[in-house]
Amino acid sequence: MSKLDLDIEKFNDDSFKLEIKTEDDKGVWSLVRFLSRQDVMKCKELFTHILKVELIDEEDITKLWSLTHHDGPCSMIVKYNNIYHYADLDDDQTPEDRPRKLFLYPLTNEEFNKENKRQELFRTYVGMHCDYDEKGKRQQNKGNIVELSQEELTKVYKEMDSIAPHPYRKTYRDRPPIGYFIP
């Protein structure tokens, strides 16, 4: 009986290393290919199927805060199995699609710390309405925010973007998802 392992890792900013290993009674065979980001995205559905990404029960997810929201979360920071994750819609989904599937991408401690620092600024100057409570419900009030002029608020947004800019988040999806949930 043969065994098959698939490993995808970021090689540099523009490419990924795909390694397929198989082992049988004749030995170990390995195939290495380098793929562009576009190739990986094109193959995402296939990789997702190969990796057997499964549905995670929403009750097992701790929602921390949403990053984008359109009649429900489109992307957010969550905790699952004591690990922080970036949760995002699949490329084939729009915010209008139902049910939504948010795929979970593990964050490093450094990535989570940046997101948390950014969210602390957001809470202070914009509000707490993107945060979730311990029951998984989104906050309805903004809380006590620091009133700023438009110019000062623009500076705060620039500071938040210097910590964890929106395009930066797309790199979280360079790693395979560990599963998905339906919020």
Render pLDDT for 49-60 as a digit per residue (tens, 0 to 9).
555 678 899 999
For residues 125-151, average pLDDT: 84
Letter string b/e over residues 99-130, b meaning 16 or more CB atoms within 10 A of that residue's CB: ebbbbbbbbeeebbebbbebbeebbebbebbb
Which pLDDT score is estimated for 27? 72
- CA 124 to chain CA centroid, nearest Å: 24
On average, the pLDDT of the chain sits at 81
pLDDT-derived band at 48, boundaries 50, 70, 90 = low
What φ, ψ does residue 77 adopt, rounded to 5°?
-105, 130
The domain spans of the chain are 3-42, 58-181
Find how far residue 101's CA is from the centre of its chain: 12
- Work out the pLDDT band at 1, boundaries 50, 70, 90: very low
Span 81-129, pLDDT tens digits:
999 999 998 766 776 777 888 999 999 999 999 999 999 998 888 888 8
Query: Mean pLDDT across the stretch 17-43?
Result: 72
**Which pLDDT value is given to residue 109?**
94
Q: In the prediction, which pLDDT does 61 show?
A: 96
How many C-beta neighbours within 10 Å does residue 153 have? 14
In the predicted structure, residue 176 carries a pLDDT above the cut 70: yes
> How confident is residue 22, by pLDDT bands cut at 50, 70 and 90?
confident
